[in-house]
Structure 1
Amino acid sequence: MKFSHQILIDLPREEVINKMEDPANYKHWQRGFISYKHLSGLQGEEGSRSILKYQMGKREISMVETILKRVYPKKFHATYEAPGVFNIQKNYFEEEPENKTMWIADSEFQFSGFMKLIGTFMPGSFKKQSLQFMQDFKSFAEEGKSVLHN
């Protein structure tokens, strides 16, 4: 399943990237975020791997992030692997007039096992969650609003 979202952020591109790349900020815009642990490679650089943990409903989900491409400040591509789900995430950050940034996120989800059923019958939930992360990041970056206070 492939889809794309975009959102205009009322901040300069460099500020957007700085807020997005800091793992200390993840809890403020990624609902259910529990922890981040660097595994290998130079943190934040191509080839590095990290474990991200999330609370999703009653389940705790761990996923491995592998950074594929990082061309600062224009693009960031990574994969996210969790049981039954493989996500290729390609993010692009375009400078817009008046110090704004267009964030374009191209997502591709591949499913296996039980998650194939979820992906087939509930594709909207993955699209909705991806868009929610983007909207929450925009609120955090522009206004300092944290999802921790919802």
Structure 2
Amino acid sequence: MKYVNTIEIALPRERVAQLLADPEQLPKWLRGMVVHEPVNGVHGQVGTKSRVVFRSGQQEMELTETITRRDPVDLNEIPAEVVVHYERETVGGGMRSVVRDRLTEAGPERTLWESESEFRFSGVVMRLVGLLMPGSFRKQSQQHMQDFKAFAEQGKDVREAAD
């Protein structure tokens, strides 16, 4: 299953890229994230593997994330014509996903975030979930992007909304 989500954020591309790459900011906008810790490597750098744990209600899912692309490496003073690429592969819970994020300038002080997601499922249950509820994956991805936008533009923290 493949799909693309997009959102425009009222911040310069460099700032959006920095916020997305900052591990300290993840819990503020990524709903359900309990743990995101490198197992080897440095957070956000190509080749780094991280242990990621999400909680939804009483259920937890543990995944392994590998950063497969980050271009450019330096997120300060990115030339206007350069598109920022950040790609990761996540495995666990009967699925494998690849997410390819692209950040482009959408105008002065505006960034277009395009996120292409691809999921593959293993096991009978996850294959059924993928077949019967494909829209839920796209909807969850869009919610993460909207939460990031609210965090980046207005400082809204998803943890405060959950309390």
- Equivalence for 1:82: 92
Kindly indicate whether residue 67 of structure 2 is the aligned counterpart of residue 67 of structure 1.
yes
Aligned partner (choices 91, 105, 111) of residue 95 of structure 1: 105
- Equivalence for 1:124: 135
- Equivalence for 1:57: 57
Query: Per-residue deviation at 1:95?
Result: 1.0
Aligned-pair identity in percent equals 38
- Equivalence for 2:81: none
Runs of 4+ that moved beyond 4 A: none
Taking the aligned partners of 2:119 and 2:45, their CA distance within structure 1 comes to 23
Query: Per-residue deviation at 1:40?
Result: 1.1
Letter in 2 for 1:50: S
Superposed counterparts of 1:1-80, under 5 Å: 1-72=1-72, 73=75, 74-80=84-90
The runs of 5 or more residues in structure 2 that have no matched partner are 76-83
Taking the aligned partners of 1:133 and 1:108, their CA distance within structure 2 comes to 16
RMSD between aligned alpha carbons? Answer: 1.0
Query: Per-residue deviation at 1:25?
Result: 0.9
Letter in 1 for 2:154: E
Taking the aligned partners of 2:53 and 2:43, their CA distance within structure 1 comes to 17
Query: Per-residue deviation at 1:43?
Result: 2.9
Taking the aligned partners of 2:101 and 2:133, their CA distance within structure 1 comes to 23
Q: TM-score under structure 2 normalisation?
A: 0.89
Bigger shift: 19-28 or 134-143? 19-28
Answer whether contact 2:147 2:158 (CA < 8 A) is retained.
yes
Letter in 2 for 1:10: A
Letter in 1 for 2:48: S
**Does the residue aligned with 2:130 lie in a helix, a strand or coil?**
helix
